[in-house]
């Protein structure tokens, strides 16, 4: 019973992590009173992650549109890119058993939801 509680807690933590990673690309406008400052290392890292995910999303969207005849919405570019980036990271760091199990839950849920959305877009429902 104790192990089930641990798995559930880590599953929820993994889902929160995935939600946080997906929300990283959201941009908020700065107040007008703030002067433009030199981007910090964190801003540059987040921009780098967003750029990589955009390229991955564009590539996957291109392939999906080739398969479905341009029926997949362009709005899926960002979620596809972030989910693909998380999947690549998961494969790259797959040696960590504990982290892998937690991340797989979020990745599987994300891919299932995206596949459902793609099917709905392709069928125009």
pLDDT score recorded for residue 20? 47
| DSSP, residue by residue, 57-100 | HHHHHHHHHHHHTS-S-GGGHHHHHHHHHHHHHHHHTTT-HHHH
pLDDT score recorded for residue 84? 93
pLDDT per position as a tens digit, 90-113: 787 766 777 777 788 889 999 999
Cβ atoms of 124 and 33 closer than 8 Å: no
Rg (CA), the chain: 17
For residue 56, is pLDDT > 60?
Answer: yes
For residue 121, is pLDDT > 60?
Answer: yes
Token duo for residue 75: 């709005």
Token duo for residue 56: 């991955």
Which range, of 5-9, 40-44, 60-64, 81-85, averages the lowest pLDDT? 5-9
* Better-predicted residue by pLDDT, 10 or 50: 50
pTM for the model stands at 0.53
pLDDT per position as a tens digit, 4-45: 666 555 555 555 444 444 454 445 555 555 556 788 988 999
Cβ atoms of 78 and 25 closer than 8 Å: yes
Task: Give the largest CA-CA distance in the chain.
Answer: 55
pLDDT score recorded for residue 92? 76
């Amino acid at each position: 019973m104790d192990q089930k509680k641990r798995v559930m807690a880590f599953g929820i933590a993994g889902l929160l992590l995935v939600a946080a990673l997906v929300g990283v690309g959201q941009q908020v406008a700065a107040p007008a009173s703030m002067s433009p400052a030199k981007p910090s290392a964190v801003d540059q890292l987040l921009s780098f992650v967003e750029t990589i995910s955009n390229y991955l999303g564009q590539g996957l969207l291109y392939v999906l549109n080739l398969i479905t005849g341009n029926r997949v919405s362009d709005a899926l570019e960002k979620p596809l890119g972030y989910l693909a980036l998380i999947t690549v990271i998961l494969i790259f760091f797959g040696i960590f058993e504990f982290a892998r199990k937690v991340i797989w839950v979020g990745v599987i849920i994300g891919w299932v939801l995206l596949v459902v959305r793609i099917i709905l877009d392709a069928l125009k429902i």
